[in-house]
């Protein structure tokens, strides 16, 4: 598989063990060397707005988080200048079995894909090969 390697991946999830596990899976996949983890959507937005931080190639975004959930994050993210979000691929992650979540995600142009947790090396490789084939 001739898969592109990414420079930066941003994980946004309030669950520390999930972030640890997903970071391990990304590292083991060999597809990215810089993994940034934010445990809240508010913190992630602040990080993304900071010009000193790199623009991630890929964001894995959890839906269900306290204070600001994934949908609310996306409402704020939509207002970013196009240049700031131009090439970022956003993958929504969930443990939810609610079919309305998937339907809602499919209707948002900011979301490239909707996946169930946990991430595996195979589905990380699949995301990168499908979303970054260019």
What's residue 49's pLDDT?
Answer: 93
Report pLDDT for 19. 97
Parent domain of 71: 31-131
In a domain? residue 80: yes
Query: Into how many domains does the chain fold?
Result: 1
pLDDT in tens, 93-122: 998 878 898 899 989 989 999 999 999 999
pLDDT at 2: 52
Residue 115 lies in a domain: yes
Which of 132 and 97 is assigned the larger pLDDT? 132
Instruction: Kindly report the number of other CB atoms within 10 A of residue 70's CB atom.
Output: 24
- Position 13 in a domain: no
Determine whether 28 is exposed, middle or buried from the number of CB atoms within 10 Å of its CB (0-12, 13-18, 19+).
exposed
pLDDT for 55-77, tens place per residue?
A: 999 999 999 999 999 999 999 99
1 part of a folded domain:
no
We report the CATH number of the domain holding residue 70 as 3.40.50.2300
In a domain, 42, yes or no: yes
**Average predicted confidence (pLDDT) for the chain:** 92
Count how many residues are written for the chain: 134
pTM above 0.85, yes or no: yes
């Amino acid at each position: 598989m001739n898969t592109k390697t990414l420079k930066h991946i941003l994980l946004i999830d309030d669950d520390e063990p999930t972030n640890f596990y997903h970071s391990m899976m990304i590292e083991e996949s060999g597809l990215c060397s810089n993994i940034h983890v934010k445990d809240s959507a508010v913190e992630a937005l602040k990080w993304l707005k900071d010009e000193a931080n790199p623009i991630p190639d890929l964001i894995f975004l959890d839906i269900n988080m306290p204070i600001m959930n994934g949908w609310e994050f996306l409402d704020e993210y939509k207002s970013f200048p196009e240049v700031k979000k131009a090439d970022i691929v956003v993958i929504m992650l969930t443990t939810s079995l609610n079919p309305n979540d998937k339907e809602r995600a499919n209707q948002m142009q900011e979301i490239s894909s909707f996946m169930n947790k946990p991430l595996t090396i195979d589905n990380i490789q699949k995301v990168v090969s499908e979303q970054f084939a260019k």
